[in-house]
A and B are shown apart, each in its own frame.
Chain A
């Protein structure tokens, strides 16, 4: 085990957090998309992380396991009879995206990204100190 390997674990952590940020951006951008590829309203996406033990280094890395659609939270029905996407009852189904939840998620992703950055910074300082021994 050495410091470079620990840095690569942190880099992996940063990669999953940026994937999460990307997903949040997608959700916010599509918060009003009443039609998506499936023909229905857009459904909010959720990211799943997975811990993977690297047997060579003994360190646990992180990976994106899957990005799944949220099918539990109901879509928001709004009465808009003049809307082209309205159904027979005049209701339009809006995505189940809550911008509040998304912005909290975005903040957390940002903080976690920073924490991983700190870990890299610390590994870097330790490496620099080891190199200083050669002086």
Chain B
């Protein structure tokens, strides 16, 4: 395998990130009434040619910008929007993967 980023590598990386983000959003929603809980998110790390597809999913970001009276910083509406976003991105990813697989089948001369 060459050092370049392959499409399947990139898609796998993105999907790992999306699953990790979905988990954090679920945690945020579950803890929306827990005093002192700070909302968490994850950053997306760029996949480069020399990272060999072993990039950690990203860095955890703790959001303490808008604290409630009980020290909780979860904004339920923001979390719901993020949840929808993750779902759409995941859908995009799986569809891209399906197309990619179809192209490979085509290259192999099958339909």
Would you give the 0/1 interface string for A1-23, flagging 1 where the beta carbon is closer than 8 Å to chain B? 11101110110110010001000
Interface residue ranges, B against A (CB under 8 Å) = 15, 18-20, 22-27, 29-37, 40, 57, 60, 76, 79-80, 83-84, 86-87, 90-91, 94, 97-98, 101
Q: Can you sample 15 A-B contacts with CB below 8 Å? A: A2-B19, A10-B29, A12-B30, A13-B31, A16-B33, A58-B60, A59-B26, A62-B34, A115-B76, A118-B80, A123-B26, A126-B18, A129-B91, A130-B94, A133-B94
Task: Tell me if A60 counts as interface (CB < 8 A to partner B).
Answer: yes
Which residue from B20, B26, B60, B76 sits with its C-beta under 8 Å from A9? B26
Main secondary structure of the interface of A (DSSP, over half): helix
Sorted from nearest, which 7 A-B pairs have the closest CB atoms? A13-B30, A6-B23, A49-B34, A6-B26, A60-B27, A129-B94, A119-B26
Total A-B Cβ pairs within 8 A: 105
A122 touches B86 (CB 8 A): yes
A5 / chain B contacts, CB cutoff of 8 Å: 23
Task: Tell me if A103 counts as interface (CB < 8 A to partner B).
Answer: no
Q: Which of A10-69 contact B (CB under 8 A)?
A: 10, 12-13, 16, 20, 48-51, 57-62
A51 touches B34 (CB 8 A): yes
With A59-B24, A59-B27, A126-B86 known, 17 other A-B pairs at CB within 8 A are A1-B19, A2-B19, A6-B22, A9-B27, A12-B30, A13-B30, A49-B35, A108-B33, A112-B76, A115-B32, A118-B83, A119-B26, A122-B83, A122-B84, A122-B86, A132-B98, A133-B94
Report how many residues on chain A are interfacial, defined by Cβ distance under 8 Å. Answer: 37
B34 touches A50 (CB 8 A): yes
Q: Which of A67-114 contact B (CB under 8 A)?
A: 108, 112
**What's the nearest-Cβ distance from chain B to residue A1, in Å?**
5
**A49 and B33 in contact, given A126-B19, A133-B98 (Cβ under 8 angstroms):** yes
